[in-house]
Amino acid sequence: MSILKVDTINETANNGDIAVIPTGSGKLVLDGLTWPHADGSAGQLLKSNGSGVLSFVDAPSSGFTLTSEQSTGSGNGITFGSIPSGVQHVVMMVEGTSPGSDGDIYIQLGDGGGLETSGYIASGGYVLQVGTTGVTRSTSSFIWRMEGDAAWTYDGAMEFFLKDATNNTWVAVQGGSHGGGSHRQATVGGGVKSLSAVLTQIKIFPQNGNFDAGSISVMYK
């Protein structure tokens, strides 16, 4: 390796560039940092490996990918599949959703082996305007706990955060409003679930019967 030691380097023409080009497979090392031999792609950033070697990498995505909205006007459940590997944050949003008959709404996570129906540590609760409360625990799914008329609708969201990528452990938190007319209740819940493999799908379904109103969408990043 050649070492050039100078106090100043001046270009000989006005507004000229200064080019430093290593020979062969040699690298450009400036002040202890080894620079890439070739340019990166448009939009890429320089990243250090912590040992003085720089490389071009893709810029991290800062936004969510929103899936197509799905109607909950009928059917006994909706599965959102094809969630890509590397996702760390998922949000399921519901608007005007009705289970069709009195009961709760369940959410299950799944991987390439299918939806998982056990191993959840979850609970859901509600608080009515009049002060009545209720809580239900579940080991088979995450749960949106509801109380009231079958015609009431639900608006809210459940978020999933990847807590431990090694064990595919997801933490969930949920909040929303359920009711109809002048009757409303606050709903809360959450829990944790470790999958057998990387998350690829999420299913939402009513405890009893079919959905008969509303819509659901999912976004992830």
Looking at residue 147, what is its pLDDT? Answer: 77
- Point out the residues of the chain with pLDDT beneath 70: 1-13, 15-18, 43, 59-62
What amino acid is encoded at 122 in this protein? A
Looking at residue 23, what is its pLDDT? Answer: 76
Looking at residue 2, what is its pLDDT? Answer: 66
Looking at residue 59, what is its pLDDT? Answer: 61
171-174: Cβ within 8 A, 24+ apart:
172/107, 172/122, 172/142, 174/124, 174/142, 174/144
Question: What distance in Å separates the CA atoms of residue 142 and residue 115, rounded to the nearest whole number?
Answer: 13
Looking at residue 5, what is its pLDDT? Answer: 61
Residue 7's contacts (CB-CB under 8 Å, 6 or more residues apart) are none
Tell me the residue ranges of DSSP E strands in 32-182: 33-35, 45-48, 54-57, 65-66, 70-71, 78-80, 89-98, 105-111, 114-115, 121-128, 133-138, 142-144, 153-164, 169-180
Domains for the chain: give ranges and CATH numbers.
Answer: 1-59 (no CATH), 65-220 (2.60.120)
Looking at residue 48, what is its pLDDT? Answer: 83
First to last CA, the chain: 44
Looking at residue 201, what is its pLDDT? Answer: 97
